[in-house]
Structure 1
Amino acid sequence: MSATDTPTLRLHRASAQVFVTDFARAITFYRTLLGFDVVFTYGEPPFYGEVRRGEASFNLRHVDESPFVADVREREQLLSASIVTTNAKELFGEFEAAGVDFQERLQLKPWGSNEFVVRDPDGNLILFGTPSAPPPPDAESRRESPPTPVAKDPHRPVDEEFDRDPQATQRGTTAAQFP
């Protein structure tokens, strides 16, 4: 348990903020094509709201212009949200029949999950996926070689404390360090 978690303090969920330039168009897209319910909208005219399907939800936030530079989302495959589903293949078929625009069609990824990525009218990329089955309990004992170490990123600024002391990441920060 980390220093900030206590038996009475728990984090329950995080909500993505999806930026849209036409709020009404976004609500229609998520409700009509993707089957989300509108939980609430706020403002007159509405500029903020939440959509939900099953246990997955996220917020829509109107912006006058996209905060993303040109084609950076496509080029870098920047996801606005990632949603876990019990059956990505079935959901992909539903979305395909509805005429949804896909940035990436359904595929089995090297890490074992079935995933696809939807592109909304503002270019936001939303991933839907079914995780791979958990490995059998004895899978670790059958591993033939250790995992490949991650190469140091030459573009990352050097954090001398972290580079000297691998325990630095476990110390974290305290609220008193922030104004």
Structure 2
Amino acid sequence: MNAENRVDFTQVDVLPILPSLNFSQTRQFYIEKLGFEAVENLCEEYMSVRRDSLELHFWNCQDPTLSESSSVFFRSENVWQLYDDFDKRGVELTRHVDEFDRPIDKFHVRDPHGNLLLFGRRLGPPSA
């Protein structure tokens, strides 16, 4: 990174836009299974859900290969609290392991259309 042109990204929100094959199924999964809440949508071709500071947007898609190939990665210090919450809600979770079959600080969920939601522990600050 060029030290002379530093930009402060600490106040930037990143809002992934994932494909949805069916808004009703997507909304139901994210609200009932993952504990999100619906966000008012301004058009029929777009929808959003939010859970605390996690916010996902969806566009209406007709190609299942796009949703099966899409993903988003969330990092948090509280990743295992989220894991426990999802587990209690009956969400099918996959916990990642290393080459020695030891658990690592990552797990993932697939939504009904194949979008991959990967959750991991937030890493320390970047090295200078």
Smaller-chain TM-score range? 0.7 to 0.9
Higher relative contact order (CA 8 A, sep 6+): 2
C-alpha displacement of 1:82: 1.1
Q: Distance in 1 between matches of 2:124 and 2:6?
A: 30
Per-residue deviation, residues 64-103 of structure 1 (Å, max 9, x unmatched) = 222439xxx5xxxx5521112232222112212212133x
Q: What is the aligned partner in structure 2 of residue 58 from structure 1?
A: 56
Q: What is the aligned partner in structure 2 of residue 119 from structure 1?
A: 110
Aligned residues: CA RMSD: 3.6
Q: 2:96, 2:104 within 8 Å by CA — same for their partners in 1?
A: no
Q: Distance in 2 between matches of 1:81 and 1:9?
A: 19
1:37-116 map, 5 Å: 37-43=37-43, 46-68=44-66, 73=68, 80-102=71-93, 104-105=94-95, 107=97, 114-116=105-107
Q: Distance in 2 between matches of 1:92 and 1:9?
A: 27
Q: 1:18, 1:59 within 8 Å by CA — same for their partners in 2?
A: yes
Q: What is the aligned partner in structure 2 of residue 130 from structure 1?
A: 121
Residue segments in structure 2 that go unaligned for 5+ positions in a row = none
Give the secondary-structure state (helix, strand or coil) at the position aligned to 2:66. Answer: coil
Q: Distance in 2 between matches of 1:126 and 1:109?
A: 22
Q: 1:48, 1:62 within 8 Å by CA — same for their partners in 2?
A: yes
Q: What is the aligned partner in structure 1 of residue 21 from structure 2?
A: 21
Find out whether 1:30 has 2:35 as its counterpart. Answer: no
C-alpha displacement of 1:14: 2.1
Q: TM-score, normalised by structure 1?
A: 0.55
Which structure has the larger Rg over C-alpha atoms?
1
Q: Distance in 2 between matches of 1:83 and 1:9?
A: 16
C-alpha displacement of 1:40: 2.2
Query: How many residue pairs were aligned?
Result: 124
Q: TM-score, normalised by structure 2?
A: 0.73
Give the secondary-structure state (helix, strand or coil) at the position aligned to 1:92. Answer: helix
Return structure 1 stretches of 4+ with deviation > 3 angstroms. Answer: 5-11, 106-110, 132-135
Identical positions, percent: 27
Larger strand proportion, structure 1 or 2?
2
